[in-house]
Amino acid sequence: MVSPVVPPLDAFWMPFTNNRQFKTQPRLLVAARGMYYTSTDGRQILDGTAGLWCVNAGHCHPKIVEAVQRQVAELDFAPTFRMGHPGPFALAERLVQFFPGEFDHVFYSNSGSEAVETALKMAIAYHQIRGDSQRTQLIGRMRGYHGVGFGGISVGGIPANRQLFGQLLPGSDHLPHTHDLAHNAFSRGQPAWGAHLADELEALVARHGADMLAAVIVEPVAGSTGVLIPPVGYLERLRAICDRHGILLIFDEVITAFGRLGASSASEYFGIQPDLITLAKGLTNATVPMGAVLTRRGIYDAFMTAAAEGSIELPHGYTYSGHPLACAAAIATLAVYEEEGLFARVRDFALHWQERVHALRGLPHVVDLRNLGAIAGIELAPRPEQPGARGSDCLQRCFERGLLVRVTGDIVALSPPLIISRDEIDQLFDTLADVLRLLP
């Protein structure tokens, strides 16, 4: 049912939103099914962004809805501090099998940001318990997004997300990002140029001292700062340098896990084994908030061995770590991914997707197009003196024409549910092309 009643908009302090502007021109969604949202005025809006890169199996999937409904009626909540219930154990078992590689334990949070804080703390603590207590410094990357905790914004490479918040984690530093229009504009898939930028990690090692660095955290594909695809060989070099210096490598896979690249994770897609992986979003198809950290074999064991018998090995956790509803949603979601072969679907449509992305070349304002799996970035030239204005205008015009896109500044990011059909891919790009042709 579409509710025509719009509540007063003032009291909700909206996240990452220009509140004053939004509230003069709100875009409200009241229902969703499959590939489409329904807006307050009853229009069907094609979801080009899987919500916020999270509804990978499509909206209101009946099997996931049913699993959550059943769970809430049976066990609404149970603590996981010194207590347990079957859900998180069953899910952890499922997750370590789901992801190829050497992962053997799972720690739960409620969001990607909390997964990042957890992974950073684990990395530092891992060195501490092994007697490497000076290894506390963390390396992120410019234009990296790792959520909004103090750790995440410290390693994150978005100055605007840091400026208002005073002291950050001491000693955190950043690799350069790999995006350079002069060298890798209009790349299809991974850019050929840029692997050498991983070697900057050696410079950071030299600056800080190898034995001071706890971990490097990167998004294998950066999403929030406008879809930055790793150059061929880049992630492999990062892994090799981390190995050389005993630094843990964290892949923040909050958006890349669960099929976005046609594989369970970017780690699987690129064939690289990180030490920790952060998960969220597609883990529960976004029905119930949940994040997680997946740890490589040996990390959990190190904590179990180091701590005194009877003591708590890792003093960290959230009231809702392993919440029953989230676990039920995640178990049902993983089953849907497998039963419906959704990751294989991405592999099947990836070429068509790529062709449609790059067919936008030559349209007004388009200065770069990039793609990988079910991801695309369309970079527009900014309006003079008005960075971001063209992007916002594009978002609004797409919405008016029945398409939801995400914009970061003047970059349009696309990441649809993996159930998207060929016709819907065509509909998405036809609408976007129409908007770009008229966009001032």
Site for ligand PLP, rule CB under 6 A: 111-113, 116, 145-147, 219, 223-224, 252, 254-255, 280
d(CA 289, CA 68): 12
Between 54 and 357, whose beta carbon lies closer to ligand PLP? 54
Minimum CB separation of residue 413 from ligand PLP in Å reads 10
Q: Which two tokens stand for residue 79?
A: 């603590």
Between 205 and 261, whose beta carbon lies closer to ligand PLP? 261
Enumerate residues 6+ apart whose C-beta is below 8 A from 319. Answer: 79
The conformation of residue 440, written as its DSSP 8-state character, comes to: -
Q: Read out DSSP for 213-226?
A: EEEEEE-SSB-TTT
Minimum CB separation of residue 313 from ligand PLP in Å reads 25
| Number of residues assigned to the chain | 440
Between 57 and 436, whose beta carbon lies closer to ligand PLP? 57
Minimum CB separation of residue 116 from ligand PLP in Å reads 5
Q: Which residue is nearest to ligand PLP (CB)?
A: 112
Between 285 and 431, whose beta carbon lies closer to ligand PLP? 285
Minimum CB separation of residue 320 from ligand PLP in Å reads 13
Between 165 and 421, whose beta carbon lies closer to ligand PLP? 165
Minimum CB separation of residue 243 from ligand PLP in Å reads 23
Between 276 and 436, whose beta carbon lies closer to ligand PLP? 276
Minimum CB separation of residue 277 from ligand PLP in Å reads 11
- Which segments within 393-440 are labelled E, that is strand? 403-404, 406-408, 411-414
Between 116 and 407, whose beta carbon lies closer to ligand PLP? 116
Minimum CB separation of residue 278 from ligand PLP in Å reads 6
* Other CB atoms within 10 A of residue 6 CB: 11
Between 109 and 371, whose beta carbon lies closer to ligand PLP? 109
Enumerate residues 6+ apart whose C-beta is below 8 A from 412. Answer: 377, 378, 379, 380, 391, 394, 395, 405, 406, 432
Minimum CB separation of residue 376 from ligand PLP in Å reads 16
Element (H, E) at 141: strand 137-141
Minimum CB separation of residue 108 from ligand PLP in Å reads 13
Element (H, E) at 234: helix 234-245
d(CA 414, CA 51): 10
Query: The tokens 């916020």 sit on which residue?
Result: 52
Minimum CB separation of residue 427 from ligand PLP in Å reads 25
Between 224 and 431, whose beta carbon lies closer to ligand PLP? 224
User: 250 with 216: CB under 8 angstroms?
Assistant: yes
Could you give the 3-state DSSP secondary structure of residue 118? helix
H-only helix segments in 99-174:
112-129, 150-155
Element (H, E) at 292: strand 291-296
User: 223 with 180: CB under 8 angstroms?
Assistant: no
Q: Cα angle vertex 218, ends 267, 161, to 5°?
A: 140
- SS3 of the chain: helix, strand, coil, percent, to 5: 40, 20, 40
Between 224 and 354, whose beta carbon lies closer to ligand PLP? 224
User: 278 with 253: CB under 8 angstroms?
Assistant: yes
The conformation of residue 210, written as its DSSP 8-state character, comes to: G
